[in-house]
Amino acid sequence: MTTDPLVLYGQSFASRLLLGTARYPSPAVLQAAVQRARPAMVTASLRRQGINATNAGNSFWELLKSLAVPVLPNTAGCHSVQEAVTTAQMAREVFDTPWIKLEVIGDDYTLQPDTQQTVEAAAILIKDGFQVLPYCTEDLVQCQRLIDVGCQAVMPWAAPIGTGRGPMNPYALQLLRERLNVPLLVDAGLGLPSHAAQVMEWGFDGVLLNTAVALSQDPVAMAGAFADAVAAGRAARLAGAMEQHSSAQPSTPVLGTPFWHHDKAQA
């Protein structure tokens, strides 16, 4: 086990990357991408991928089991508290896990989460024994309310799902890191490995990706690039960046350094 694990709800993970399983060109590419990235968990949606308690032996479910990576079911596609709670309970039965990525969508165009219903659903699921990782915006108040109802980690977006635009509100994201004392994972909107490295340098504890890998020209190579970027960003955060300055600072010391002056050589 790594000396710097990601710890969520008391469980340690060697990787700080979580990887989605949708929209890959083929099952074989998905499998290879997961093997290359070696994520902490892979996400799966019952509603969007057609998994349920009666056909849990289908090919996709068999593929998930073959990956030998913990599964994080999600409630993608839910628009109400009741939908999300029911889907989470079904997921617990199918995947035999208390983990759930909670999504309650409030707007179909931006896929922005419903702030009020997400908190309500989280409170119900926490009381029901779930380990909830809620998808939310970078809104500080909503994140604090999710923590108040028992969430031990929150997952704010960097930008709307699938846009690949990277962090659109750096100030708000960095403020979350300064104010909240729980694991923070950026979920949604990252498009480049440099985006992942950046949020990790800000102090985020991990990232969750899907589209940026699945829809790239080479998902396997991109999965590896993101895994490397997450690790590099975390290492940079732990190393401590130099202080920024408004003017140039010499990188080579002058005082005490011997120089051979041409005019002295001719004296």
CB 42 within 8 A of CB 30: no
> What is the model's pLDDT at position 261?
56
Residue 235 has pLDDT above 60, yes or no: yes
The per-residue pLDDT for range 35-94, each reduced to its tens digit, is: 999 999 999 987 655 555 445 447 888 888 888 899 999 999 999 999 999 999 999 998
Detail the DSSP E strand segments found in the chain: 6-8, 11-13, 17-20, 41-45, 71-74, 99-102, 131-136, 155-156, 185-187, 206-209
- The DSSP bridge pattern shows strands 206-209 and 185-187 to be parallel
Nearest to 45 by CA among 1, 137, 116, 111: 111
Question: Known catalytic residues?
Answer: 101
Determine the Cα–Cα distance for residues 46 and 125; give it in Å rounded to an integer.
17
Residue 157 has pLDDT above 70, yes or no: yes
> What is the model's pLDDT at position 246?
84
Q: Residue 253 — pLDDT band, cuts 50, 70, 90?
A: low
Residue with tokens 């991109």: 222
Q: Write out the binding residues.
A: 162, 188-189, 210-211
CB 100 within 8 A of CB 122: no
- Region 208-218: what's the mean pLDDT? 96
Q: Write out the binding residues for 1-deoxy-D-xylulose 5-phosphate.
A: 162, 188-189, 210-211
Inter-CA distances, 41 with 74, 109, 118, 152, Å: 12, 27, 22, 17
Q: Residue 265 — pLDDT band, cuts 50, 70, 90?
A: low
Q: What is the dihedral of CA 40, 42, 46, 50, to 10 degrees?
A: -160
In 3-state terms, what secondary structure has residue 50?
A: coil
Q: What is the dihedral of CA 4, 169, 108, 20, to 10 degrees?
A: -20
- Region 22-34: what's the mean pLDDT? 94
Portion of the chain with pLDDT greater than 70, in percent: 90
Q: What is the mean pLDDT of the chain?
A: 90
> What is the model's pLDDT at position 101?
97
Nearest to 121 by CA among 108, 105, 110: 105
Enter the pTM of the model: 0.87
> What is the model's pLDDT at position 55?
52
Determine the Cα–Cα distance for residues 29 and 259; give it in Å rounded to an integer.
59
Determine the Cα–Cα distance for residues 68 and 204; give it in Å rounded to an integer.
26
Residue 158 has pLDDT above 60, yes or no: yes
> What is the model's pLDDT at position 73?
95
The per-residue pLDDT for range 189-212, each reduced to its tens digit, is: 999 999 999 999 999 999 999 999
Portion of the chain with pLDDT greater than 90, in percent: 75
